[in-house]
Amino acid sequence: MSGHPSFIPKAAGHGPGPRPGGQGPGRGHGPAGRMMGGEKALNFGPTMRRMLAFMGQFKGRIALVLLFAIGSTVFSIVGPKVLSEATTVLFNGTVDAAAGTGSIDFAAIGSILAAALGLYLASAACAWVQSWVMSYVSQQTCYRLRNAIARKIERVPFGYFEKNSTGDTLSRITNDVDTLGQSLNQGITQLITSTVTVVGVLAMMLSINAVMTLVALVMIPVSAVLVMAVVRLSQKHFVAQQALLGTLNGQVEETVSGHAVVRAFGREGATVEAYERDNEALYNAGWKAQFLSGLMMPVLGFVGNLGYVAVAVSGAFFAVTGAITVGDIQAFIQYVKNFTQPITQLAQVSNVLQSLAAAAERIFAFLDLPEIPEQQSTVDAATPERSVAFDAVRFGYAPDAPVIRHFSASVKAGQTVAIVGPTGAGKTTMVKLLMRFYDVDGGSIRIGGTDIRELSRPDVRGLFAMVLQDTWLFSGTIRENIRYGRLDATDEEVEAAAREACADHFIRTLPGGYDFVINEDATNISAGQRQLITIARALLADRAMLILDEATSSVDTRTESRIQAAMDRLMEGRTSFVIAHRLSTIRAADLILVMRDGDVIEQGTHEELLAAAGFYADLYASQFASCNDRFDD
């Protein structure tokens, strides 16, 4: 892999997890699987109309699919009728030869067989073209929907991802799109071919003999009743199977991701016992569902055989009377066989289309989310002045629940500003506002005298490098993770940043060094090591302003002091915002803002705030009352 990752990075420790609303493993088992497991769309008609409108860009290819699907079906329907003529010629020739009045006309039979072969070859060719074009249409649809979702993710307000699970969003871009593609490819083609087959076969049967057609049609309601009985019996077991499968998948994922905790607390036996219990329940539900659904084909086969007997008896009667030929009986039996299958397929198609509509509905619901309006900077974002002013800032995630009520502060360029306060005071919220993850409800935030709302979001965020308490690494090498801070950085610059962040030593002790591959959840390195890598990434980015949110919370005291020295060098001449609960890390800050209930209640240097004996002094005393002597100069 190169230094420019070609994938979407993942937050360390946050895998995709279960995918709500997705078509998980096991969906659609057995012949009746799709009929039982499909999720139903709430607005089938409007969703399907929108889906067709989205596919309007492929209307020429869809017309080809329709044309070739009809051609393939018509050729295959005509085939048995043509073959019946060969059977008739062979039968008549055999009878004539036995009577001594003639012989078998092999030339005529050869011509008929050649014509039948040509029909079946034409049918196969049309089917191949139709399948190829439909595959292109369905995969192009999936491709464009995935691109649309990926672009949408960049424009969706930040709050969406704080209110919705990551697994649900991933399910829409993977599971739902895949379900849509499979349903589209299968459903549209099957709908066309099954409809044409039913109509065509019925027409051919009627052209041979109307009475025999009525005899064959009697078998349809009998088959429908039996199929409905099988479906009703098996449905509850399919539902139980899906629920138990979800339970088992969740249990396995939790056990695997938390295997260290399971072993540490000696819960292996209890975990295995719970797994075996759920696995046994899944087995019982699964075999019942599979057994009952597996009865469908034997039942349909039995009814079909009864139909063949009825057709054979009635056909023999009509053949004796001379109403039809022996070849017509053979063709009619083939048509009876071909008639029941598309009817069953049409029943399944309705469920396939429901799955398609359900997936499309979830995809379109995401694509319809409100977007952050695109904005160009109205001023030059490259100005060197990096002072920051918060002027009567008000903000709430919900209109009736303000988090920041009246925040005002002035930060000079190059200052290191620490923001402290109890949990929920609004410290992290201020950082989100500063980077325009959200816009203020009232007041303003100005950088260099310019309201940040006059700058585009990319320009604002381009001013900052961030190190968060929750490490953010993706599956890839350590070198790639550090280089993410600046993609054009050389290997030497990457390693220099790691040395400044005190990460070089531990990196070189790992197998492969800087080419050591971090796994998906970054669990093959320690929490402190993950933190050091993110700090190195911020150092490499070399942005004009810094945000450090508990940046040293996961490292030991000795490493913290070394990192603090590197941070001091990095922050020199840069405006830096440091959020910290461990007040020992911000004693040297130029300005400390003490927040409480969304407001700045105190500000000043460490010594000034201690001398004021206010809220900050109380916070400091609560942390260091028993060990203040450690921090005396």
Query: Which tens digit of pLDDT belongs to each residue from 503-539?
Result: 898 999 999 999 999 987 777 888 778 888 888 898 8
End-to-end CA distance of the chain: 49
What is the domain class of 373-463+543-605 according to CATH? alpha beta
**From CA 357, how far away is CA 351, in angstroms rounded?**
10
pLDDT tens digits along 462-481: 888 888 777 778 889 999 99
Mean pLDDT score across all residues of the chain? 79
Residue 201 has pLDDT above 80, yes or no: yes
Tens digit of each residue's pLDDT (9 = 90 or more) over 135-183 = 899 889 889 998 888 888 888 887 787 777 676 777 778 778 888 888 8
Distance CA 363, CA 180 (A): 9
Two structure tokens written together for 129: 């073209």
Q: Which amino acid is at 100?
A: G
pLDDT of 629 > 80? The answer is no
In whole angstroms, what is the distance from residue 452 CA to residue 388 CA?
A: 10
pLDDT at 630 over 50: no
Q: 388-405: per-residue pLDDT in tens?
A: 888 888 888 887 788 888
User: Bridge partners of 517?
Assistant: 477
Which pLDDT value is given to residue 480?
A: 93
- Cβ proximity of 91 and 326 under 8 Å: yes
CA distance 239 to 243: 6
Q: Return phi, psi of residue 487, to 5°.
A: -70, -20
- What is the tens place of the pLDDT at every residue in 303-343? 777 877 888 888 888 888 878 888 888 788 888 877 777 87
Dist CA 337 CA 306 (whole Å): 11
Of 106-110, 450-454, 557-561, where does mean pLDDT reach its minimum?
557-561
| CB count in 10 Å sphere of residue 531 | 26
Q: What percent of the chain has pLDDT over 70?
A: 85
In b/e form, how buried is each residue of 355-388, taking b as 16+ CB within 10 angstroms? bbbbbbbbbbebbeeeeeeeeebeeebeeeebeb
Structure tokens belonging to residue 77: 């329907």
Domain parsing of the chain, residue ranges: 373-463+543-605
Whether 172 and 362 have beta carbons less than 8 Å apart is answered as yes
Give me the pLDDT at residue 492, please: 93
> Do residues 171 and 89 make contact, with C-beta atoms less than 8 angstroms apart?
no
Q: Is the pLDDT of residue 560 over 80?
A: no
